[in-house]
Amino acid sequence: MKSHSTNPPVYSVEKIEDQSGLKRFIKFPFSLFRDDPNWVPPLISDELTVFNPKKNPAFDHCEASYWMVTKDGVDAGRIAAIVHEQEAKDEKALRFGWIDFIDDPEVSRLLLEAAETWGRERGLTTMQGPLGFTDMDFEGMLVEGFEYPATIATIYNYPYYPEHLEQLGYEKAIDWVELRSEVPEESPRRLVRRAQMVESRFKFKSVRLHSKKEAQKYGEELFDVLNRSYENLYGFHELSPKQIQFYIGQYLGFVVPELLSLVVNEEDKLIGFAITMPSLTSAFQKAKGKLFPFGFLHILKAIRKNDIADMYLIGVLPEYQKFGVTALIFRDLVQAYIDRGIKVALTNQMLETNYNVLQQFNEFQESSEIYKRRRCFKKDIA
């Protein structure tokens, strides 16, 4: 008769402090989500850049530590803890992000306790997340919409993730929602009329771009608008000049010019923008975290021919938000989508309390529906 081992599992918490450990940390989700069709692997090279203090200017005002938990010698979870100096000073808050774990409450407990202890040692009293170094990083744990694929800019996680956090005393801080819109066969007349009225009355105008080089010329202005329009949003901190240059290189070198909407006033000053791209979800899944040797070919193919668009960023200067700038933005985007044969537009996550933006989407995209919800959790760790 065979005997069965009754030894309890052995757990170990490991602080990641070298490059080989960091690669393990980055690659852990590749095994955790290996068979899940809704997970979108990030590019490993991009993740290495994010965690490199010599390349990511966020480290000018952030400090970070990383941990992994093993179960019987096998990697079972990961977490990053981030101190943003302004947030720590103003709110005594610690961020956590890049959190993934198997469905074992002991693993999630050990991960979060490691980060909490690190935060307490620095005099911090609250922990919140998932958040990244900046608002441009992955943030928000999926709590609704598990049946849909992620985008390359959003987190995917299993349904048990939020259950584990709630069991450990974490509560909702705020939610983000994502919208799905059917693109009409022709531009809605109401939208076109509204845009024309705004152009005539306020002398605003759309900027037509024909090359990526043209788009990059607007880079600094674009991120200045983003800083101003996002300044009061949850978790957002103004991007520094170095960070702006970092994101110009990261984003604007890959845009499709006709899917970038820019609006200027009569003095040719940028007052509003939207960055959208053909969906790269399927391309990144096929690339499996690597651009070479074939990953970039999948990405190029997705950019050339695609019937889904991802809406990454939209911003309007606060002093212009009541003057119909978004009418011009949506008019231009809808027509660009129609011209490229795009049938569905998916928004990036938007705060559920950002009523102005949500109202504008409902007004100009009549078929919009909330199809995903993400949550930032918080806990008193004092």
* pLDDT per residue as tens digits for the range 267-298: 999 999 999 999 999 999 999 999 999 999 99
Mean pLDDT computed over 95-106: 98
- 3-class SS at 235? coil
Confidence tier at 3 by pLDDT (50, 70, 90)? very low
What was the pLDDT predicted at 1? Answer: 44
Mean pLDDT computed over 299-311: 96
pLDDT over threshold 80, residue 362: no
Mean pLDDT computed over 134-157: 97
Residues 6+ apart with CB under 8 A from 62: 82, 83, 84, 85, 133
- 3-class SS at 216? helix
Confidence tier at 84 by pLDDT (50, 70, 90)? very high
What was the pLDDT predicted at 194? Answer: 94
pLDDT digits 0-9 by tens, 244-270 = 999 998 878 789 999 999 999 999 999
What was the pLDDT predicted at 359? Answer: 73
325 to 226, 267, 311, 354: CA distances (angstroms): 14, 15, 17, 16
What was the pLDDT predicted at 363? Answer: 60
Q: How far apart are CA 248 and CA 240, in angstroms?
A: 12
pLDDT digits 0-9 by tens, 166-186 = 999 999 999 999 999 999 999
pLDDT digits 0-9 by tens, 184-207 = 999 999 999 999 999 999 999 999
> Which of 210, 214, 211, 233 has the alpha carbon at shortest distance from 222?
214
What was the pLDDT predicted at 213? Answer: 87
b/e code 221-246 from CB counts within 10 Å (16+ = b): ebbbbbbbbbeeebbbbebeeebbeb
Q: How far apart are CA 83 and CA 61, in angstroms?
A: 8
Q: Select the more confidently predicted residue: 253 or 151.
A: 151
**What is the average pLDDT value for the chain, to the nearest integer?**
94
Structure tokens at 300: 């190029």
pLDDT over threshold 90, residue 60: yes
What was the pLDDT predicted at 364? Answer: 57
Q: Whole-model pTM?
A: 0.94
Q: How far apart are CA 94 and CA 84, in angstroms?
A: 7
Q: What percent of the chain has pLDDT over 70?
A: 97
